[in-house]
Amino acid sequence: MDYNKIVTATIEVFRKCDIHSFPIDCEALLKHYGYRLFSYKELRDRNPELYSLSLGYSEDAFRSGASKIVAYNSDRPRGRIRFSLMHELGHHVLGHTGLSNQNEKEANAFASHILAPRMAIHYSGCKNANDVARLFDMSFEAADNAFIDYRRWHRNVVIYKMSTVDKAMYAHFYNKEQKCFVWSIHRCDFCGRILYNSSEPRCTICVLPSIPKKTHIYYHDFDENDRILQRQHLKWLYDF
């Protein structure tokens, strides 16, 4: 299988859809490419004939390029659904026509790489498949395969350095402001502050509720830029 072809296709999607953080929104990507999404149950009610065709094709997901429809089995586990949706997007992006084992292998590889690029696995510090499954919202089976392939990729980079497509992947996720490869961007669910490369739902300031009341807080332990927010939070939380 052509590794460069698969990874180049994922980079193209990341660029077109302005993806700079994981886990990705699979439904949003398909909609960007003009697809309407239906569960098999919804399709059964809307179009019984197409539902029968879909179920006969696959128990996981089905894509109709002509109708621009992707249907999926909502009874499957979340991680498996996400992989199936990206498998179908892979068929579209890679320009597959007809059924073949090669097309299926390429679509599977595309789904794996777009859900968890090997470089993103590296910079997120994943130590095992469980980490990959948690950070990239994948099934354990898919995460295990991705982590095994990551180790192969990492050995090649150590020996042969980064390839052209690896450099393109790095360039896309390199954040000039943060001066590093960024794999996660989200807001603190308490104060709304932007967090980079963090798997925690809250920033370091907003985890202060775990500190017992009357505990002394030494401001020199924190970044100067955070102190105003820290004082506000302390006032809210401890009535200072």
For residue 78, is pLDDT > 80? yes
Higher pLDDT, residue 89 or 211: 89
List pLDDT tens digits, range 185-232: 999 998 999 999 999 999 888 875 544 544 444 444 445 555 545 554
pLDDT averaged over every residue in the chain: 89
Rounded to an integer, what distance in angstroms lies between the CA atom of residue 60 and that of residue 81?
7
Residues 68/57, Cβ–Cβ less than 8 Å: no
For residue 33, is pLDDT > 60? yes
Query: Which amino acid, 103?
Result: N
Looking at residue 211, its pLDDT comes to 46
Q: Give percent of the chain above pLDDT 90.
A: 73
Radius of gyration of the chain (CA): 22
Q: Taking residues 85-108, report their average pLDDT.
A: 96
Q: Give percent of the chain above pLDDT 70.
A: 86
Phi, psi of 102 (to 5 degrees): -65, -45
Q: What's the pTM?
A: 0.85
Q: Taking residues 10-26, report their average pLDDT.
A: 98
Mark out the alpha helices in the chain (DSSP H runs).
3-16, 26-32, 40-46, 48-57, 78-93, 101-115, 118-123, 129-136, 140-160, 164-173, 227-238
Looking at residue 207, its pLDDT comes to 75
Under the banding of pLDDT at 50, 70 and 90, the label for residue 236 is: very low
Tokens of 27: 């439904």
Higher pLDDT, residue 136 or 51: 136
Rounded to an integer, what distance in angstroms lies between the CA atom of residue 49 and that of residue 43?
9
List pLDDT tens digits, range 143-171: 999 999 999 999 999 999 999 999 999 99
For residue 235, is pLDDT > 60? no
For residue 50, is pLDDT > 70? yes
Q: Taking residues 17-29, report their average pLDDT.
A: 98
Under the banding of pLDDT at 50, 70 and 90, the label for residue 98 is: confident
